[in-house]
């Protein structure tokens, strides 16, 4: 009986944690963006940069899709921790990106944290 109870508790815990993906999003389509309410305080300044710099040429939808699905939507390439930096630099090098290295690094650090959260 004890074992049955234990398995039951384990199942309930698993169900309870599953519905709570740590990375939340807001809106749909072109308005799809990250919900920064769950971001740790240390990443707030990063988000202030990212939410301005990374919507200059396209909406945040592209980045949300990349991080939540693990696949970059245009190229179909994997979007994982080893890809964030490369994409950040690629974006910075585009004409009129209006980003410097520090700003790209801030976005990359935040995206890496988000990738970990999205996989929870
Ligand atoms: C100067 C314009 C510009 C800025 C600024 C910009 N992007 Fe992009 N982004 C593009 C273009 C153009 C594409 C189309 C595909 C490509 O060239 O990779 C793109 C594509 C993407 C993709 C999809 C790539 C793929 O292979 O599917 C992601 C993810 C992305 N951008 C994220 C970001 C992030 C994060 C930032 C901020 C650090 C950012 N972008 C800032 C122009 C920009």
Q: What digits encode the pLDDT tens for the residues 67-114?
A: 999 999 999 999 999 999 999 999 999 999 999 999 999 999 999 999
Our count of domains for the chain comes to: 1
* Degrees, nearest 5: CA angle 85-41-91: 20
Instruction: Indicate whether 5 belongs to any domain.
Output: no
pTM: 0.86
Band of residue 10 on the pLDDT scale cut at 50, 70, 90: low
Q: Which of 62, 68, 90, 103 best tests ligand 1's pocket when mutated (most atoms within 8 Å of CB)?
A: 62
Report if residue 14 sits inside a domain: no
d(CA 86, CA 102): 14
19 pLDDT above the threshold of 70: no
Nearest CA to ligand 1 atom 41: 54
Mean confidence (pLDDT) of the chain: 90
Q: Cα–chain-centroid distance for residue 7? A: 33
CA angle 28, 34, 36 (to 5 degrees): 140
Evaluate whether residue 86 is within a structural domain.
yes
Q: Is 2 part of any domain?
A: no
């Amino acid at each position: 009986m004890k074992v049955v109870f234990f398995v039951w508790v384990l199942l309930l815990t698993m169900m309870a944690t599953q519905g709570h993906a740590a990375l939340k999003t807001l809106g749909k389509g072109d308005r799809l963006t990250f919900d920064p309410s769950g971001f740790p305080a240390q990443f707030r300044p990063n988000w202030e940069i990212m939410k301005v710099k990374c919507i200059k040429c396209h909406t945040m939808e592209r980045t949300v899709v990349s991080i939540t699905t693990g696949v970059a939507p245009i190229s179909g390439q994997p979007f994982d921790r080893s890809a964030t930096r490369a994409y950040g630099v690629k974006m910075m090098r585009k004409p009129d990106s209006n980003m410097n290295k520090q700003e790209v690094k801030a976005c990359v650090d935040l995206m890496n944290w988000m990738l970990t959260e999205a996989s929870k």
